[in-house]
Amino acid sequence: MTVLAERPVTHEHEHEHHEGPSGLLKWLTSTDHKLIGMNYMVTSLVMFFLAGIMALLLRTQLSSPNSSFLSFQQYNALFTMHGSLMLYLFAGPFAFGGLANYILPLQVGAPDMAFPRLNALSYWLYLGGSITMLLGFLVAGGAAAYGWVAYAPLSSVQFSPGSAPDLWILGIALTGFSAIFTGVNLVTTTFYLRAPGMTMFRLPIFTWNMLVTAILILIAFPILTAAMVLLFADRHFGTHIYSTAGGGSPVLYQNLFWFFGHPEVYILALPYFGIVSDVIPVFSKKPLFGYKGMIFATMSIAALSTGVWAHHMFTTGVVLLPFFSLLSLLIAVPTGIKFFNWIGTMWRGQLTFTTPMLFCIGFLFAFLMGGLTGVMLASPPIDFATHDTYFVVAHFHQVLFGTAVYAGFAGLYYWYPKFFGRMYREWMGKWHFWLLTIGFWLTFIPQYVLGLWGMPRRVASYPANLGWRSLNVASTIGAYVIGISFVFLLVNLWVSWRKPVPAGDNPWDAHTLEWFATSPPVHHNFEKLPPIRSERPVWDYHHPDALTIEHSGAHSNGNGHGHLTDAGAGAGAGSSGDKA
Amino acid sequence: MSPRAAETSSTAALRWRRRAVGVVAAVALPVVLGGCQLPTFYGYRGSTKQGHDEFLLYVGTVIAAIVVGVIVAALIVWSVFRYRKRSEEMPRQFQYHIPLEITYIIIPVIMVLILFAFTFVTENRVDAIAASPAVKVHVTAFQWGWRYQYPGNVTVTGVTTEDPDPVGLNGAQCAPAVDCLGPGLIVPAGQTTQITLNSQDVIHGFYVPQFNFSRYAQPGVTNVFDLTVQHAGIYRAQCTQLCGLYHSLMFFHVVALPPAQFRAWLSSQEGGAASAALPLSSSNSTTKAAA
């Protein structure tokens, strides 16, 4: 690509580029990665809040035995849509469509994504797919009610008649294409639009993880889309791919779905690991410990994730247990590497607990618990005892909540000053964090116990005489506390919008290139770039006396110790306007 | 897993080792002192031979998970409190420590392999199929109930639908202490029952919490497994795989009878006669013989 050679002169064209449509027309026609990224973030957050409200309805239903708050049909539809919205329309798109779209080109020093128009198409497909899926609520019979996995034959036209399942399938297909296009864009941007000096081993971990995620998207999403096309064909064109009646196989659907579904779990996790790996070093005043080990850990997780899908199918009785068990257990190793690298980064640092850092600490504990129970579930006999119970529900919520919510909102708070050039209110961010944390543990710890006692997932009611009530009440209270914590986020966004506190270009004294751009970045991002000689170009630029020591053993290097120099970039380096 | 992360001074390392030993001891001591009476960690001890094997694996895994979790959590908590910002001094900008990084690859690999070895042994026991089980029962799941086919053309069907009592259970027969929803699978206690499981419509989940066991009932797939229920009793069971509207109500029971009584019950059914009084008062094993 010749784009690299052209890149430094982009600022000469700055004024031409600025003249374009504004307002609604700009929003509809823009191919700017920042605007598309923002659209993605806003849309996916709307999906997150919708799915969260559904979760509160579900928890309200379960707060008493034999509850009739919702009908069975409503309950089944709501948990289906809660899962579908959270997984297909929030956790993934928020990361790879929203944050990555906005941040990745900035982190590699590029003026935009490689294919800006394809990027716009991605967003409109995603928005269209999301609306299509939600339309299911409006058709006769209500939304699809077969769980977010849509197992055949329950999702066949015989057992799930009506048009809502078709809308659901179409929604998945549209958002699937959107994800594939975004994946293409992210891979190409990372490989071809890096600024001079930005070698692969100088990429920020967030970008590295997004690259690996994008490759996983290209592996996994076509399978999902294909599986959905086949499901649609079974429903409407008289094929029998997933039905035994015509010689098909329902297990085939599970294999196809989880061949997407397990990489998908890491598509939903790796970007968020990337956020944590960017945030913790910044607030520890240190480089990421074991940077290269982190990259190889990410790649091993991705590689292993394509060979573990059948651990979701241990109880089908038709999979080779030892193979899938061993590979699943092995994922604990690279994940453990990440944990120790994060701890090593904090080790002997100077930690400041801003809201993004608090959310990362919350992530560490959530993911630790979710990860350990995940190791247990990778053991087939333990899975036999807990499969499809609330133990599994608690496990994957701790994992996904740890990633998409804790780390996701760590990213939102962390980059908020970059997006808007203004600071959020720190005290409200901390309230958000502590309420969220109380709610989180109160919601999901009881669910582990309920699962071990034998409460199946996806039940709309339970008998009164099993002693499940009090733990369910605790879980429901926790869910409401989580809900309340998000009021602090919304108020925070509103207040900081109405009464702006300027943030400056680099309020965190951060490490990576996006903090060299203005806040918000100008059209085509950079007027100039610092020299890129490590994975922390902005840090190196501001702290020439505190360069990275490659090996911890080299004690003699005098550069390590020194006093924090005033970074001098932007308005408020190291002293943002509103630190509590 | 060594807690000596990033330490170079040997005294600090020693201090750390002592701390780690303390943590491990605090976790392990109650277990050791407790002797054979293992804590259950909210799990069931397993009323079948197979379920008890799972229980032992579960307890061992939980203990290992607690040890790992406590060590990692302690390292995080320590970092958070010890290294919070106290001065303007610039921390050393170190980034790599290859021996340490290799250590925390090798130790987890070893732990994973140990866990896998126990898993492998246990899953082979749980999935083992006896050559000559005491009785073979064919279980078929459907929306929304279960059909049990015993030797001698005895078929018992029970459904859980919007009809609160579709099989004439008449509530009164239920002992209040036990929830008696849905029909029962009747097996001999202390002997091996071989279940052949499939489904006639969508996927269902055959799940008995106290057996620590579940298996999908699927159309087009026939699953065979053994249950050796140790003691006579009634065991609550439920469908775990979402199977449509009334999934939440697809309860059933496993009733384990002493072998002689099981034989007597089975032969009383063979002619299609209604069930005589069962030895266990709550005869939710609603028999609707349809030969």
Residues B258 and B199 in one domain: yes
Q: pLDDT class for B14, splitting at 50, 70, 90?
A: low
Specify the pTM. 0.87
Query: Is residue A569 pLDDT above 60, yes or no?
Result: no
- A158 phi and psi angles, rounded to 5 deg: -70, -45
Whether chain B has a CB inside 8 Å of the CB on A4: the answer is no
Per-residue model confidence (pLDDT) at position B30: 57
Residues B58 and B160 in one domain: no
Residues B140 and B253 in one domain: yes
Per-residue model confidence (pLDDT) at position A97: 94
Cβ of A251 and B220 within 8 Å?
yes
Contact residues, chain A, for B92 at CB < 8 Å:
286, 348, 549, 560-561
Query: Is residue A129 pLDDT above 90, yes or no?
Result: yes
- Our CA angle for A535, A536, A541, nearest 5°, is 135
Residues B256 and B195 in one domain: yes
Residue B4 lies in a domain: no
Residue A4 lies in a domain: no
Distance CA B178, CA A374 (A): 33
Residue B107 or A555, more confident: B107
In our burial notation (b when 16+ CB lie closer than 10 A, e otherwise), range A472-503 reads bebbbbbbbbbbebbebbeebbeebeeeebeb
Total domains, chain B = 2
Over range B281-288, report the average pLDDT. 35
Residue B288 lies in a domain: no
Distance CA B49, CA B53 (A): 7
Per-residue model confidence (pLDDT) at position B235: 85
Residues B117 and B37 in one domain: yes
Residue A200 lies in a domain: yes
Residues B142 and B256 in one domain: yes
Residues B149 and B252 in one domain: yes
Residue A31 lies in a domain: no
Cross-sheet strand order for the sheet of B154-159: B154-159, B145-150, B135-142, B192-199, B223-228
Provide the token pair at B98. Answer: 């290859």
Distance CA A290, CA B96 (A): 5
Count of CB pairs separated by less than 8 Å, A with B: 307
Residue A247 lies in a domain: yes
Per-residue model confidence (pLDDT) at position A144: 94
Whether chain A has a CB inside 8 Å of the CB on B223: the answer is yes
Whether chain B has a CB inside 8 Å of the CB on A424: the answer is no
Residue A370 lies in a domain: yes
Q: How far is A43 from chain B (nearest CA, A)?
A: 30
With both helix axes pointing from N to C terminus, report the angle between B10-33 and B49-82 in degrees, rounded to the nearest 10: 150
Burial of A84 (0-12, 13-18, 19+ CB in 10 A): buried
Assess: ipTM above 0.95: no
Residues B85 and B41 in one domain: yes
Contact residues, chain A, for B243 at CB < 8 Å:
154
Cβ of B75 and A343 within 8 Å?
yes
Residue B55 lies in a domain: yes
The enclosing domain of A486 has a CATH number of 1.20.210.10
Residue A110 lies in a domain: yes
Residue A9 lies in a domain: no
Total domains, chain A = 1
Residue A27 lies in a domain: no
The residue type at A12? E
Identify the CA nearest to B114 among candidates A384, A326, A382: A326
Residues B42 and B104 in one domain: yes
pLDDT in tens, A539-552: 999 999 888 887 65
As a whole-number percent, the residues of chain B with pLDDT over 70 amount to: 71
pLDDT in tens, B143-189: 888 889 999 888 887 665 433 333 333 333 344 333 444 567 888 99
Query: Is residue A2 pLDDT above 50, yes or no?
Result: no
Domain that includes residue B30, residue range: 10-126
Per-residue model confidence (pLDDT) at position B282: 35
The minimal CB distance from A372 to the residues B69, B109, B215 is found for B69
Contact residues, chain B, for A249 at CB < 8 Å:
220
Domain that includes residue A41, residue range: 37-560
Cβ of B73 and A368 within 8 Å?
yes
pLDDT in tens, A374-411: 999 999 999 999 999 999 999 999 999 999 999 999 99
Residue B282 lies in a domain: no
The enclosing domain of B246 has a CATH number of 2.60.40.420
Whether chain A has a CB inside 8 Å of the CB on B54: the answer is yes
Q: pLDDT class for A372, splitting at 50, 70, 90?
A: very high
Burial of A396 (0-12, 13-18, 19+ CB in 10 A): middle
Give the bridge partners for B89, in sequence order: A563
Residue B285 lies in a domain: no
Over range A194-200, report the average pLDDT. 95
Alpha helices, H only, A454-569: 469-498, 537-542
Whether chain B has a CB inside 8 Å of the CB on A153: the answer is yes
Residue B249 or A410, more confident: A410
Over range A349-356, report the average pLDDT. 96
Whether chain B has a CB inside 8 Å of the CB on A500: the answer is no
Residues B75 and B179 in one domain: no
Cβ of B239 and A375 within 8 Å?
no
Contact residues, chain A, for B97 at CB < 8 Å:
289-290, 344, 551-553
Choosing from B89, B107, B126, the residue where a domain stops is B126
Residue B227 lies in a domain: yes
Over range A232-261, report the average pLDDT. 93
Mutant choice from B41, B68, B95, B224 vs A, greatest count of A C-beta within 10 A: B95
Contact residues, chain A, for B100 at CB < 8 Å:
344, 552
Residues B101 and B204 in one domain: no
CB atoms within 10 A of CB B98: 12
Residues B24 and B111 in one domain: yes
Per-residue model confidence (pLDDT) at position B180: 45
Cβ of A250 and B218 within 8 Å?
yes
Over range A1-13, report the average pLDDT. 42
Residue B144 lies in a domain: yes
Choosing from B65, B93, B126, the residue where a domain stops is B126
- A 226-265: CB under 8 A from B: 244, 249-251
